[in-house]
């Protein structure tokens, strides 16, 4: 039984204050799912993005402004956000405190299209 944790992964800071660890994916033995842990520092707000598969995001700690399609809502620890396939979504941390989220995808190889506008 594989036991995975982020100590065996490299951290990627794709955008300032947006630190990502790919904890579960095809490179770590998964054939059906990916899970990423993301630490969003205060003030971080990466560009909107979309995936060809849906994404479930667990807000584990903190409070964030969530954007999905044309909607904007505040989300906090214990809540989940479901982003449908192809729908642009993202988060902004305006709370002044770090936020921890987990992105869960039904694929071992996540494809992301970043909105660089």
What is the tens place of the pLDDT at every residue in 3-50?
998 888 999 998 999 999 999 999 999 999 999 999 999 999 999 999
- Compute the mean pLDDT over every residue in the chain, rounded to the nearest whole number: 95
> Are 51 and 85 spatial neighbours (Cβ–Cβ below 8 Å)?
yes
pLDDT at 116: 75
pLDDT at 117 over 70: no
Which CA distances in Å does 80 have to 8, 67, 90, 93, 117?
26, 13, 13, 16, 27
* φ/ψ (deg, to 5) at 15: -140, 155
Give the number of other CB atoms < 10 A from CB of residue 61: 14
The percent of residues above 90 in pLDDT, for the chain, comes to 91
Q: Which residue reads 């214990």 in tokens? A: 78
What is the tens place of the pLDDT at every residue in 48-58?
999 999 999 99
């Amino acid at each position: 039984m594989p036991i995975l944790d982020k100590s065996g992964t490299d951290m990627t800071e794709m955008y300032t204050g947006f630190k990502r660890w790919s904890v579960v994916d095809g490179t770590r033995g998964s054939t059906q799912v990916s899970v990423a842990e993301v630490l969003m520092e205060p003030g971080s707000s990466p560009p909107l993005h979309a995936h060809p598969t849906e994404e479930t995001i667990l807000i584990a700690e903190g409070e964030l402004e969530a954007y999905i399609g044309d909607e904007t809502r505040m989300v906090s620890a214990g809540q989940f956000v479901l982003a449908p396939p192809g729908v642009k979504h993202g988060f902004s941390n305006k709370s002044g405190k770090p936020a921890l989220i987990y992105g869960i995808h039904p694929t071992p190889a996540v494809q992301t299209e970043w909105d660089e506008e």
